[in-house]
Structure 1
């Protein structure tokens, strides 16, 4: 998977031309999001613990807590490349991936578990490099005039993106390894589920994404149009529903990240084969389960947050450009975060934000528990 921040910049311009299936939006008539903070840059993850709202800001290398005045109180600093935060009792878990460039896999990637008894670091990078569960997948062009050119098996690449508690363990969606890991408090790792490649049709609009010459013409031959490109699935968001059923979003990788090929998957309790229940999502990066059984999906390139049922039926849409993270409170409040706005070159043009969506009064607890 390409490193996350360049991915956001690269996809934003192309995403302007995309149209998402939001036919249920008019019927849903959701409340207008209320902005609480603009003191974040890349808030990859939100976690709601009671009335506490925690945020993992990858640009700041910080785990922080939203305060009633909109400021962010740091809890953990120096967490370079942090991508998510979760809690279970007195344990705080967060993921980090140390990037080394736009196209190269991260140098380090892991899960940190911190509680009053101490701190444990689980090296997911080392486990991926020793096992590489998706090496049996085939990515790249299939059934094209290029033959076997441009195809490859799954490479070693770990990019821990989201962690959630799962019973007495933790689940980690790994956007590089293309799996969900199951991790114990003792640091034991196993594969919870492995995702298959995501087929993307190479249309005339998609063809130039593979490169153009000095005259602006596609570098690949026209005979590629109509073929299939197997993109890496790139799991991002993860949430747990009733009965231990797990829901995961996949981005997916190039060129699917900018063609609306994102999906929502269901995995039965204790893992196994994933089942795609919704498609047509544009850059889904986060997912959260509501108390009424609905699922909210943040779409980075889709202009907002989609609301779907656990069977994949569209239930509504909340406009929120650059939506990057979602989380839900027990009282039904939806919390969401947006990425800092950028131009086509990836230069910041505005801050990230944290917002709430609720029909009632929303309370924020600023007391920090360390």
Structure 2
């Protein structure tokens, strides 16, 4: 995942989470803003990953604080796993009493999957960094400008980076989900969906590049030379969530490895991936900063659009995302117990000395 071109609005905000202060989460009171929502936890720093069991037990990560929390119904959230300073905890999912999560470190060099079993034993499952160094799934995918001349490429500002490049060696596990005998990972560094069987890692699919045309307005806004106007730019498609939907198909949300605010087009998308063949089809596009999704039993897909401040719904059989609910900075989504669970306000209070304001909230479906 590289963010090389075009005034990356979202990047600094997300990076600032690392410096955010940490306060203990507490059980939240009623929400004055949305009586239909049921707040569950607040006071979280960067709650970018969420899992919920049928009995309402909530697992939520405080990614850049390096903490994984569990909140039993009616109780306060407690830390169940922590990562040493400088590390990130995230990509939480739960199945059969086992909690799967990811640990990331460095500049996308280290990504490991761990699992806490029903007895509370925390063990390593797979090293995604090794797989990335060995396979580099998008190493043969070309990103950047399509059809740019050498003379035009020479005029690009230094901060833009190379005019074209291929996928680099990076790993950043951002989401997991499990089925019998296999765990799927949305790796935001590898730009791919991976599968783990036992301790073996394999590539299911690489998410196709997100393509936008450079218009005069976009060139001017980003200091690009006029010779780029009319050219296509291929951004890396960064997978942010993976869920198992009807028929065992994988549903994957993605955002561009560049501006996430829609300034170069609404390049967020949802893909459907066949885990057996790796065939990838785009279900919907035109999303802004799609950071999480959930699929209900009927095939409706819900997507969080972080910087659009909304949760969208893609009805079964449709390819159009429509606003389902307005919320502030939604992160991850889960469906459990007939309700949609969401982390919200995920960037709130992340500056030095500010009070963390991330929440877990619950909405009735329908």
Q: 1:107 to 1:194 in 2, by over 3 A?
A: closer
Alignment of 1:1-370 (within 5 A): 1=1, 7=11, 9=13, 32-50=36-54, 51-68=56-73, 71-78=76-83, 80-99=87-106, 105-115=107-117, 116=119, 119-145=123-149, 146-147=152-153, 150-184=163-197, 186-208=198-220, 210=222, 218=223, 220-255=224-259, 258=262, 259-311=265-317, 312-314=319-321, 316-329=323-336, 331-338=337-344, 339-341=346-348, 351-358=357-364
- The SS at the match of 2:216 is coil
Whether the aligned pair in 2 keeps the contact of 1:31 and 1:358 (CA below 8 Å) is no
Distance (Å, rounded) in 1 between the aligned partners of 2:209 and 2:35:
37
- The SS at the match of 1:135 is coil
Q: 1:301 to 1:70 in 2, by over 3 A?
A: farther
CA-CA distance at 1:82 after TM superposition: 1.2
CA-CA distance at 1:8 after TM superposition: 6.1
Q: 1:140 to 1:272 in 2, by over 3 A?
A: same
Distance (Å, rounded) in 2 between the aligned partners of 1:128 and 1:143:
29
1:253-302 Cα distance to aligned partner (Å, 9 max, x none): 11466432100001124241210110010000111112332111111111
Distance (Å, rounded) in 2 between the aligned partners of 1:71 and 1:208:
50
CA-CA distance at 1:56 after TM superposition: 1.4
Once the two structures are overlaid, the 10-residue window that deviates more, 115-124 or 244-253, is 115-124
1:306-332 Cα distance to aligned partner (Å, 9 max, x none): 111244233542101211111110x32
Distance (Å, rounded) in 2 between the aligned partners of 1:70 and 1:320:
25
1:12-56 Cα distance to aligned partner (Å, 9 max, x none): 9xxxxxxxxxxxxxxxxx973232222211111111111211111
Q: 1:309 to 1:6 in 2, by over 3 A?
A: closer
CA-CA distance at 1:11 after TM superposition: 10
Q: 1:31 to 1:240 in 2, by over 3 A?
A: farther
Distance (Å, rounded) in 2 between the aligned partners of 1:41 and 1:271:
38
User: Unaligned stretches of 5+ in structure 2?
Assistant: 17-33, 155-161
Q: 1:37 to 1:246 in 2, by over 3 A?
A: same
Q: 1:317 to 1:150 in 2, by over 3 A?
A: same
- The SS at the match of 2:279 is coil
Whether the aligned pair in 1 keeps the contact of 2:2 and 2:236 (CA below 8 Å) is no
Distance (Å, rounded) in 2 between the aligned partners of 1:317 and 1:8:
28
Distance (Å, rounded) in 2 between the aligned partners of 1:302 and 1:46:
20
Q: 1:249 to 1:271 in 2, by over 3 A?
A: farther
Distance (Å, rounded) in 2 between the aligned partners of 1:176 and 1:53:
26
Distance (Å, rounded) in 2 between the aligned partners of 1:154 and 1:346:
34
Whether the aligned pair in 1 keeps the contact of 2:311 and 2:325 (CA below 8 Å) is yes
Distance (Å, rounded) in 1 between the aligned partners of 2:228 and 2:63:
38
Distance (Å, rounded) in 2 between the aligned partners of 1:256 and 1:340:
14
User: Unaligned stretches of 5+ in structure 1?
Assistant: 13-29, 100-104, 211-217, 361-370
Whether the aligned pair in 1 keeps the contact of 2:246 and 2:297 (CA below 8 Å) is no
Distance (Å, rounded) in 2 between the aligned partners of 1:11 and 1:300:
15
CA-CA distance at 1:57 after TM superposition: 1.4
- The SS at the match of 1:43 is coil
Q: 1:271 to 1:75 in 2, by over 3 A?
A: farther
